Amino acid sequence: MSELHHPNPMGTSKGQAVSSTGLRLSQCFDPIDELFSSFFEVHRVPGLVWGVVDQSGLLHVGSRGVPDPSRPDRLTEHHVFRIASMTKSFTAMCILLLRDRAKLSLDDPVQQWLPELKVRYRPHIEPSTLTIAQLLSMSSGLVEDDPWADRQLAMPESDFTALLATGIGLDLPPGSGFEYSNLGYAMLGLIAKRAAGHDLNVLAIEQILQPLQMHASTWNLQDVDATLLATGYRLNQGNWEIEALLDHGAFGAMGGLASSIKDLAQWVALHLGAWHQEPRLSVPWIKRSSLREMAQIHTAISRPNTTHPDLTAQGYGYGLTIAHHRLLGRIVGHSGGLPGYGSRMEWLTDYDIGLVTLANRTYTALSDVVRQGLTHLVETGLVGVTPLPVSEELRRVYEAIIATYQNPQNQAALREVALPSYFLDCDDDRRPPDFGTLRSTHGRLISTDPISAQGSLRGFWTMHCARGALTMHAMLGPGVPHKLQFLGVASEPTAPGNR
Tell me the per-residue pLDDT of 301-314, one tens digit each, with 9 for 90 and over: 977 556 678 888 99
User: CA 363, CA 234: separation in Å to the nearest integer?
Assistant: 9
Q: How confident is the model at residue 20 (pLDDT cuts 50, 70, 90)?
A: very low
Which pLDDT score is estimated for 323? 95
Tell me, what's the pLDDT at 124? 76
In this prediction, residue 469 carries a pLDDT of 95
Higher pLDDT, 8 or 186: 186
Instruction: Note the pLDDT tens digit of each residue in 400-410.
Output: 999 999 999 99
Q: Any idea what the Cα angle at residue 250 is, between residues 247 and 256, rounded to 5°?
A: 50
Residue pair 187/90 in contact by the 8 Å Cβ criterion: no
For the chain, domains (ranges, CATH) are 1-386 (3.40.710.10), 392-492 (3.10.450)
Q: How far apart are CA 336 and CA 64, in angstroms?
A: 19
Q: Is 46 helix (H, G, I), strand (E, B) or coil?
A: coil
With contact defined as beta carbons under 8 Å apart, do 126 and 173 qualify?
yes
Q: Model confidence over 74-98: pLDDT tens digits?
A: 899 999 999 999 999 999 999 999 9
Identify the three-state secondary structure at position 348.
strand
Instruction: Compute the chain's Rg from CA coordinates.
Output: 27
Report pLDDT digits (tens) over 408-425. 999 999 999 999 999 887
Give the model's pLDDT for residue 447. Answer: 96
Q: Are 80 and 256 in contact (CB under 8 A)?
A: no
Side chain identity, residue 111 = Q
CB atoms under 10 Å from CB of 238, counted, come to 8
Is residue 493 over pLDDT 70? no
Q: Say what angle helices 435-442 and 392-406 make with each other, to 10 degrees.
A: 60
pLDDT of residue 307: 65
Higher pLDDT, 19 or 359: 359
**Which residue from 431, 485, 424 is spatially nearest to 457, judged by alpha carbons?**
485
First to last CA, the chain: 76
From the CB of residue 450, how many other CB atoms can be counted at a distance below 10 Å? 12
Contacts of 145 (CB under 8 A, 6+ apart): 180, 181, 182, 183
Burial class (CB in 10 A: 0-12, 13-18, 19+), 207: buried
Question: Does residue 116 carry a pLDDT above 80?
Answer: yes
- State how far the Cα of 231 lies from the Cα of 10, in Å rounded to an integer: 20
Letter string b/e over residues 369-404, b meaning 16 or more CB atoms within 10 A of that residue's CB: bbbebbebbbeeebbeebebebbebbebbbebbeeb
314-to-33, 116, 178, 185, 321 alpha-carbon distances in Å = 28, 34, 11, 20, 8
Q: What pTM value is reported for the model?
A: 0.86
Distance CA 322, CA 318 (A): 10
pLDDT category at 3 given cuts 50, 70, 90 is very low
pLDDT-above-70 percentage for the chain: 91
Q: What is the mean pLDDT of the segment spanning 286-297? A: 98
pLDDT top residue among 29 and 224: 224
Q: How does residue 300 score in pLDDT terms, banded at 50, 70 and 90?
A: very high
Position 168 pLDDT exceeds 90: yes
Non-local CB neighbours of 441 within 8 Å, separated by 6+ positions: 467, 468, 491, 493
Check if the beta carbon of residue 93 is closer than 8 Å to that of residue 130. Answer: no
Helix (H, G, I), strand (E, B) or coil at 52: strand
Tell me the one-letter amino acid at 430.
R
Q: Are 360 and 233 in contact (CB under 8 A)?
A: yes
CA atoms within 13 A on the CB side of 428: 0
Give the residue among 179, 180, 189 at the shortest CA–CA distance from 114. 189
Strand (E) or helix (H) holding 203: helix 200-204
254 CB-near residues (< 8 Å, 6+ apart): 85, 87, 88, 91, 149, 182, 183, 184, 185, 186, 189
The rounded mean pLDDT for the chain is 90
What confidence score (pLDDT) does residue 245 get?
87
Res. 220: pLDDT tops 70 = yes
Q: Which residues on adjacent β-strands are paired with residue 50?
A: 62, 357
Average pLDDT over residues 422-440: 83
pLDDT at 259: 98
Q: How confident is the model at residue 13 (pLDDT cuts 50, 70, 90)?
A: very low
Nearest to 371 by CA among 446, 337, 430, 321: 321
Has residue 22 got a pLDDT over 50?
Answer: no
Distance of alpha carbon 228 from alpha carbon 225, whole angstroms: 5
User: Confidence band (pLDDT; 50, 70, 90) for 427?
Assistant: low
Q: How confident is the model at residue 5 (pLDDT cuts 50, 70, 90)?
A: very low
